[in-house]
Amino acid sequence: MSIPTEQKIIDGDGHVVEDIATIWKYMPEQYVGRSFSDARGKSPFPPIDHMHTANRHFTPRGAFANVGREGWELFLDDVGIGTTVLYTSAGLAFGKIVSRDWAIELARAYNNWIYDTYVSKSSRFKAMGLIPLQEPAEAMIELRRIVRDLGFCGAMLPSMGANMPHLGSEKYWPIYGEAERLGCAIAIHGGAHEGLLMDDLSPYAPVNALGHPMGQMIAFAGIIFNGIFDKFPGLRIGFMEAGSAWLLTCLERFTGSWESHVQFDPRGRFLQLRKGEKIIDYVCRHIDEGRIFLGVEGEELTIAEALRVVGNKPFVYSTDYPHEVDADTCKHELEELRENSKLTDTDKEAILFRNAQRFYQLPH
């Protein structure tokens, strides 16, 4: 099925604001309590972090509104977007769940809820599900279910969490192997910013500004230096909602640091560079071969430089709606992207839909 020309924008990272009361109804009865009223008003998800909540700051009108399916459809029509890939909001804190049993059941409940509420109602809605990375064997089972049975594009992993090893850890290799076998996407997403040495930083704006790229840089480091793409060459991983600038920092710093601190690796645990290859070459090779993707918006200072360095293949246009944005914001971002004279028409086409098609394996 071809995408009509007027709809050739794919939103690679939109968000649902969960209907918490309804998600409880998808949880097993023993988790809800003696009656539904025991759980009503409480979230089955942990708080995202104390910096989001124990604070007072002003956000754009309508930010984080639960617009529902109808509101999302109006937004897509208004902005001129054909398809959106939906991510969780409350579940950005999913890595903080300590109870493995709770994580297993809540992932399943959330996935069933978003399927029933969005994905099953319109082909314009795609989804990245939650999987209980706290229990990798169960995560593999849930990943198979959401991809094969529910038609999801793949699953999201939080960049930070309680007692989470880095995302290059051997603990997660079975999940990456299953994603490779299924041919689905894995996306890393930030949002919970505790534990990044900013726990007492105020005001909140710099926490938001630094938290997303810092979380992605740490996740990227674990994945790159532990050779995840060498071990699983069919794997596709996206790093969402942090823009493009952090990648340039990683390329510069990782390349220089590896040249001055080459790891002794008698058992081949880490990344494997080809003869004469530097870290920047290694990353660019995996980008070119379709393994690494980044979510970007339209008005970014570094987007043209990032394309000059790594090419146009990894960048996926993302609205982040309804987090701190509305239709007018997204229209402005798209206008800035389309009018950027440093990008070619081919670059813009790649960012607006072609890269999302490849990452999420969507119809051409």
Number of separate domains in the chain: 1
Range of the domain at 96: 5-360
pTM of the model as a whole: 0.94
pLDDT at residue 58, as a whole number: 78
pLDDT in tens, 173-213: 999 999 999 999 999 998 888 888 888 998 989 988 998 99
Q: How many CB atoms lie within 10 A of CB 209?
A: 10
What are the DSSP calls for 232-265, one per residue?
A: -TT-EEEEESS-SHHHHHHHHHHHHHHHHSPPP-
pLDDT band at residue 34 under the 50/70/90 scheme: low
Place of tokens 């060459």: 233
The two structure tokens encoding residue 348: 């813009």
Mean pLDDT of 96-118: 97
> Greater confidence, 204 or 345?
345
pLDDT in tens, 294-326: 999 988 999 999 999 999 999 999 999 999 889
Query: 3-state DSSP call for residue 296?
Result: strand
* CATH number, domain containing residue 258: 3.20.20.140
Cβ proximity of 188 and 240 under 8 Å = yes
